[in-house]
Structure 1
Amino acid sequence: MRARQKGFTLVEVMIVVAIIAILVAVAMPAYQDYSIRTKMTEVMLAASACRASITEVYNSSRTAPAANNWGCESGISSKYVQKLETDVDGVISVHVQGIGGAVDGSKLTLVPLKAENTPAKTPADLGAKIWGWSCGGTGTTVAANYLPSSCRGN
């Protein structure tokens, strides 16, 4: 009588290892993109105080601040934000660091809009309502696939 086999054969174990390797090969790039998008969300969050400050100046001021003088540029650096700059029209440029890959050293821009797809300009639009913000437009050097979904295409 032949003894009964207990456990797995080497071939069965190798098949399981191959299946796991294929799953990891497919999942890792997707996870890495997700991880970068999550960190980019934190970068956008760092600019939110500046968006509020610029919106307030547009809504209530009659004099335009100079570049980097909108009252929100200092003390913004963090693990993922190297620096935050504003121009004379209130366009926010966030310089990215510490995320990894092609994103490090890139820039995300946020533009105040007076109407859909119409950037606000100082001093002409001071006192006008800011309709919204355009994210990831001209001046942005972060690849679109790394931007949070709320920032892509608007």
Structure 2
Amino acid sequence: MKRVQQGFTLIELMIVVAIIGILAAVALPAYQDYTARGQATEAMTLLGGLKVPTAEAHGNNPIAQACSTAEPVANTAAVGQPDNSTPAGALAASQNLVLSGKYITAIAATPVGTTACKLVATFKTAGVGESIGGKKIAFTYTPANGNWACTSNITNTSVRPKTCDLDTTL
């Protein structure tokens, strides 16, 4: 008589479970880096959207005013006196720019001496990948040559954007 197989043997099941365990051990770290890299993209996108307003603000104002979150101040000078109003900084709330996101706590602007403007995006500490929690990505604008430089204190090279140099002082 023919004998019909009724199921898997114990050894076959153990081999399948071992293979699944090995695949999971390799896939999980790669997936975590992949998701952190996707989260880091939010900072690059938000900072990229601030390039034009920052360059435009600098074209009309000194770097200290342009590279700030200062709100505009209306003219309070008496009639016949020089105008003492000041325009809004590039990142003023009245500009209605997006300065935070799902993974970004805030974006801050600080002048670098009198020659450049640094925009720094800070990642949240919770709800983001381990390798980017609390880390920063910065775009630095140099008006003299119109260049933008990207730096970051994300040490994991598979997560840090390829266009950003490592800067552990951020």
Query: Could you tell me the TM-score, scaled by structure 1's length?
Result: 0.74
Match of 2:146 among 130, 134, 144: 130
Partner Cα distance (1:93, 1:100) in 2: 19
Answer yes or no: is 1:95 the counterpart of 2:122.
yes
Contact kept, 8 Å, 2:63 with 2:117, in 1: the verdict is no
Aligned-CA RMSD value: 2.3
CA-CA distance at 1:62 after TM superposition: 5.1
Q: How many residues are treated as equivalent by the alignment?
A: 135
Rg larger in structure: 2
Partner Cα distance (1:80, 1:43) in 2: 8
Contact kept, 8 Å, 2:57 with 2:90, in 1: the verdict is no
Partner SS state of residue 8, structure 1: coil
Residue in 2 that maps onto 1:8: 8
Structure 2 segments unaligned to the other structure (5+ residues): 70-88
Structure 1 segments unaligned to the other structure (5+ residues): 113-119
Cα-to-partner distance string for 1:92-142 (whole Å, 9 max, x where unaligned): 111111313242222111112xxxxxxx2xxxx4xx4513x2212xxx322
Partner SS state of residue 11, structure 1: helix
Opposite residue 149 of structure 2, the aligned amino acid is S
Same amino acid, percent of matched pairs: 31
* Structure 1 outlier segments of 4+, above 6 Å: none
Partner Cα distance (2:21, 2:121) in 1: 38
CA-CA distance at 1:72 after TM superposition: 2.4
Residue in 2 that maps onto 1:143: 155
Partner Cα distance (1:87, 1:35) in 2: 29
